[in-house]
Amino acid sequence: MSKPHDETSPKTYKHTRSDGTNVRVSVPEDPKPEELLADAIRDNLSPHGVALIAAKCALRHGKPEPPIEREIAWFGEFLIDLLGTDEYERLCDELGL
Protein backbone atom coordinates (compact mmCIF):
# COMPACT_ATOMS: atom_id res chain seq x y z
CA MET A 1 0.00 0.00 0.00
CA SER A 2 1.50 3.33 -1.00
CA LYS A 3 1.23 6.35 1.20
CA PRO A 4 -0.58 9.47 -0.07
CA HIS A 5 1.51 12.22 -1.66
CA ASP A 6 2.36 15.05 0.72
CA GLU A 7 1.96 18.37 -1.16
CA THR A 8 4.84 19.92 0.82
CA SER A 9 7.37 17.25 -0.12
CA PRO A 10 9.23 17.40 -3.44
CA LYS A 11 7.72 15.52 -6.36
CA THR A 12 9.51 12.31 -7.28
CA TYR A 13 9.33 9.56 -9.85
CA LYS A 14 10.47 5.95 -9.84
CA HIS A 15 13.57 5.16 -11.90
CA THR A 16 14.94 1.68 -12.61
CA ARG A 17 18.72 1.57 -12.70
CA SER A 18 20.64 -0.58 -15.17
CA ASP A 19 21.23 -3.14 -12.39
CA GLY A 20 17.44 -3.50 -11.95
CA THR A 21 17.13 -1.63 -8.64
CA ASN A 22 14.46 1.00 -8.27
CA VAL A 23 15.13 4.44 -6.81
CA ARG A 24 13.03 7.56 -6.25
CA VAL A 25 14.35 10.61 -8.12
CA SER A 26 13.36 14.21 -7.28
CA VAL A 27 11.73 16.31 -9.98
CA PRO A 28 13.31 19.78 -10.02
CA GLU A 29 10.92 22.65 -9.40
CA ASP A 30 10.15 25.03 -12.25
CA PRO A 31 12.14 28.26 -12.00
CA LYS A 32 10.23 31.40 -11.11
CA PRO A 33 9.69 33.92 -13.93
CA GLU A 34 11.94 36.45 -12.16
CA GLU A 35 14.77 33.88 -12.09
CA LEU A 36 14.39 33.27 -15.82
CA LEU A 37 14.43 37.03 -16.49
CA ALA A 38 17.52 37.49 -14.30
CA ASP A 39 19.32 34.66 -16.14
CA ALA A 40 18.43 36.15 -19.54
CA ILE A 41 19.72 39.58 -18.46
CA ARG A 42 22.98 38.13 -17.10
CA ASP A 43 23.49 36.10 -20.30
CA ASN A 44 22.89 39.01 -22.67
CA LEU A 45 23.88 42.28 -21.00
CA SER A 46 27.04 43.57 -19.38
CA PRO A 47 26.85 44.93 -15.83
CA HIS A 48 27.45 48.40 -17.31
CA GLY A 49 24.49 47.94 -19.66
CA VAL A 50 22.26 46.80 -16.80
CA ALA A 51 23.30 49.82 -14.71
CA LEU A 52 22.59 52.22 -17.59
CA ILE A 53 19.14 50.74 -18.23
CA ALA A 54 18.33 50.87 -14.49
CA ALA A 55 19.46 54.51 -14.34
CA LYS A 56 17.27 55.38 -17.35
CA CYS A 57 14.32 53.72 -15.64
CA ALA A 58 15.04 55.66 -12.46
CA LEU A 59 14.95 58.98 -14.36
CA ARG A 60 11.28 58.37 -15.03
CA HIS A 61 10.55 57.59 -11.39
CA GLY A 62 8.95 60.36 -9.38
CA LYS A 63 6.55 61.51 -12.09
CA PRO A 64 2.85 60.67 -11.88
CA GLU A 65 2.64 56.91 -12.04
CA PRO A 66 0.15 55.47 -14.46
CA PRO A 67 0.45 51.68 -14.68
CA ILE A 68 3.23 51.75 -17.31
CA GLU A 69 5.35 54.02 -15.13
CA ARG A 70 4.98 51.58 -12.23
CA GLU A 71 6.18 48.80 -14.53
CA ILE A 72 9.22 50.84 -15.58
CA ALA A 73 10.00 51.66 -11.94
CA TRP A 74 9.66 47.96 -11.01
CA PHE A 75 12.04 46.97 -13.81
CA GLY A 76 14.61 49.55 -12.75
CA GLU A 77 14.44 48.33 -9.14
CA PHE A 78 14.69 44.72 -10.35
CA LEU A 79 17.88 45.57 -12.26
CA ILE A 80 19.40 47.39 -9.28
CA ASP A 81 18.60 44.41 -7.04
CA LEU A 82 20.19 42.14 -9.63
CA LEU A 83 23.43 44.13 -9.53
CA GLY A 84 23.33 45.01 -5.86
CA THR A 85 23.08 48.63 -4.72
CA ASP A 86 26.82 49.10 -4.13
CA GLU A 87 27.74 47.66 -7.54
CA TYR A 88 25.00 49.74 -9.23
CA GLU A 89 26.33 52.94 -7.64
CA ARG A 90 29.92 52.07 -8.56
CA LEU A 91 28.96 51.37 -12.17
CA CYS A 92 26.94 54.59 -12.38
CA ASP A 93 30.00 56.51 -11.14
CA GLU A 94 32.13 54.79 -13.80
CA LEU A 95 29.58 55.69 -16.47
CA GLY A 96 29.32 59.28 -15.25
CA LEU A 97 25.64 58.99 -14.39
Longest dimension (CA), the chain: 68
pLDDT attached to residue 1 = 45
- 21 CA to centre of own chain: 38
pLDDT attached to residue 88 = 95
Q: What is the pLDDT of residues 44-79, one digit of tens each?
A: 999 999 999 999 988 765 566 677 888 888 899 999
Q: What is the mean pLDDT of the chain?
A: 85
Specify whether the CB–CB gap between 54 and 79 falls below 8 A: yes
Give the angle 33-88-46 at the CA atoms, nearest 5°. Answer: 65
In the chain, the percentage of residues whose pLDDT exceeds 70 is 86
